[in-house]
Structure 1
Amino acid sequence: MPVFGFDHPKKNQLEHALGVQADLRRCRDCLHLLIGPPTHMGGASTLSAALYTQALVSYVRCFASGRRSSLNRDIFDGREDLLQIHEDIKRLRDRHIAHPVDEHEHVNVLVAAADPNAPAVGLGVRYWFFICGPTEELKRFLEVVTFLEQICADRIKRLGDEIAAEVVGDGSTWDLAQEQFVEATEVVDPIYGAIRSGPPPESA
């Protein structure tokens, strides 16, 4: 069955909320991997840096203006503890990951010598770059993400239910409308059987 775009006054709001949810899920998945695997595995520093950077960028994207509506820091009203963690996360992304401003990176060219006044024997570089916070810090980060995910999921359900009732019909819900969409767009392959063209359950 073919699929089509449609107009609805709240469709953009729902699409924007789904985009924020995707960023939060990506951030959450990175944090779970950072908290979970052993730190001594091969290539751990590169993997940790990549995951932590992705977690920070995905998180801050949820509060950035652009093609979609974003979350506002007012979402933390009444949760000063989470607001402080949020500000720390954003500061780290802004002043370390995105711009070399904070003291999270050190590059020193040093001289090897018997003492400060002795002739130089050689030159070397000591380089330090903050890759990832300790586990407890990551868990606090994850606490903020979990809090926001629930708010985002509630918003998606509210908007989705309203749109489903108006577009699909009375009695329809966001969850039911998605299931019906997947069933309606299912293709039966002669070899592999039913192939669903809809989104996977995680992104539904």
Structure 2
Amino acid sequence: MSGASILLPAAASAVVLNTVENFNGGLVGFGGPVNYSILTGGVDGPSDGFLAITSASPNIFATRVIQPGPFTGNYRAIGANAVQFSLLDLDSEDSVVVRVGFGIRNVNFWVSNLSFDPVFGAPWQEVTVSFDDASGWTQVIGAGGATDFELALENAETFQIRADAVADGKEPDTIAGSIGIDNVSFLAIPEPGIGLLLALLPGCFLRRSRAV
């Protein structure tokens, strides 16, 4: 960890394990420099709402929730080790490479190494990003390494879905683009070894619950 101390935000665990945000109730705290709207045609059918993120001209392409708000708080305390959501490309004219970011703005922020590039005309794509360890993430603000990663998980003041062709900078890409987001949830996914062990036990069934 670097010599500079990290200032932590006031605790506020708004995130709830296994709760699925389907955007049928509005924007749910998302904001940022691009345009937002709720459209229909989400994962669950023609009348299902989803969050559309659009920018007709080049702009910093990201959407975020800032504490207090959904998807912020202490991910470790609720047992979450992954975030899951569905993606849709809304415009054949662009290609938006999507990554996840979380942490403390301007102090300790991380962006996923795993990225997704939804294909226009393809159905909704469900994606999952693991929080298991720092090796799957790049610290774009701060320099404390794995120690900072744990602090970010325990004090996630901001959650972000962003365009990043490469996870190498503080700011998301400046592009024009349009994507859809639906069914965002934080999950506790068993490690592969644990899941295999449980599956081998007689009478033991794994089931992922979803509260809507």
Q: TM-score when scaled to structure 2? A: 0.23
More helix by share: 1
Larger radius of gyration: 1
More strand by share: 2
Q: TM-score when scaled to structure 1? A: 0.23
Q: Which has the higher contact order (CA 8 A, sep 6+)?
A: 2
